[in-house]
Amino acid sequence: MYEIGAETGRYYSVNVPLKEGIDDENYDFIFKPVIKDVIDFFQPSAIVLQCGSDSLANDRLGCFNLSIKGHGTCVDYVKSFKIPLLVLGGGGYVIRNVARCWTYETAICTEQDLVAELPFNTEYFEYFAPDFSLFPDTNPRQENANSRQYLDSIMETMHNQLKMVQHAPSVQMQDMPNSTSKHMNVDLEDILDPDERTNDIEEERRGADHDSEFYDGDRDQDGDTMPLPLAVSRNNGGGGSGSSGGSSNPGGTNTTGDIEGGSGK
């Protein structure tokens, strides 16, 4: 949660730590408002979306419980912003489900309707047994460990982190002047005062050295430099409404898991 970038890139990285077992409804609940918040704050001119399918139910490495349709809903939502979009593959360790997932999401990107039954006149048909459908049943192996209270808390914290970036970054690229003398001064300072440089490095790493991978609300001491969460309304986010992340349960990811399914992805 607190891996938010460093130095001039601080607050330009967003991570949402999701626990095992998250399903379509709860992933939608956190994915949409987080994506809406990120787009509102950063105003990107293009988006690269990695569609790793290890967040699908029963993946050999992943621990989420998303269905093919639930996974595709995320792609469709990002596409709905009408921002130039580059869609990539990613993880996924049950090959027949990877094929299903990326076929379905390619259809979403190209705005094509597909029938649910898989075509039988291919040499790969037998690999999809016993369910010869584009949308097989999920049959989750794990209970959802992500309570609504937990999802609300990380959305509030994420929103407060994004508020540190008050406007969308828009810096034109240009050639930098010769900075050799500046680098020489920095090297000299390191030699003269190595202890101070060591302290700076330790301070940068402090945010990453935490006891738990997951956000623990007010008890989580990893974010001791973060502003306190603002008081927010909790009555407008149910079921993945896609509302602004200004509410505490606006409904959607913040993934990397991650946006990949947290894989988060």
- Please name the residue that has the structure tokens 């584009």: 134
Per-residue confidence (pLDDT) for residue 232, from 0 to 100 = 38
User: Does 30 reside within a domain?
Assistant: yes
Q: What span, in angstroms and rounded, lies between the C-alpha atoms of 263 and 49?
A: 13
Backbone angles phi, psi at 38, to 5 degrees: -60, -45
User: Does 232 reside within a domain?
Assistant: no
Per-residue confidence (pLDDT) for residue 263, from 0 to 100 = 40
Per-residue confidence (pLDDT) for residue 2, from 0 to 100 = 87
User: Does 193 reside within a domain?
Assistant: yes
Q: What is the pLDDT of residues 15-73, one digit of tens each?
A: 999 999 999 999 999 999 999 999 999 999 999 999 999 999 999 999 999 999 999 99
Mean pLDDT of 156-161: 92
245 CA to centre of own chain: 14
- Phi-psi domain of 7 (left: phi exceeds 0; alpha: psi -120 through 50; beta: other): left
Q: What is the pLDDT of residues 192-235, one digit of tens each?
A: 454 544 455 455 555 445 445 566 665 555 554 554 444 433 34
Residue 163's pLDDT band (cuts 50, 70, 90): confident
User: Does 148 reside within a domain?
Assistant: yes
User: Does 107 reside within a domain?
Assistant: yes
User: Does 200 reside within a domain?
Assistant: yes
Per-residue confidence (pLDDT) for residue 249, from 0 to 100 = 35
For residue 21, what are the domain limits? 7-167+183-223
Share the mean pLDDT of the chain: 76
Q: How many domains does the chain have?
A: 1
Q: What is the pLDDT of residues 243-255, one digit of tens each?
A: 333 333 333 333 3
User: Does 188 reside within a domain?
Assistant: yes
User: Does 240 reside within a domain?
Assistant: no
Buried residues in 18-47 as b, exposed as e (16+ CB within 10 A): bbbbbbbebbbbbbbbbbbbbbebbeeeeb
Report the CATH number at residue 78: 3.40.800.20
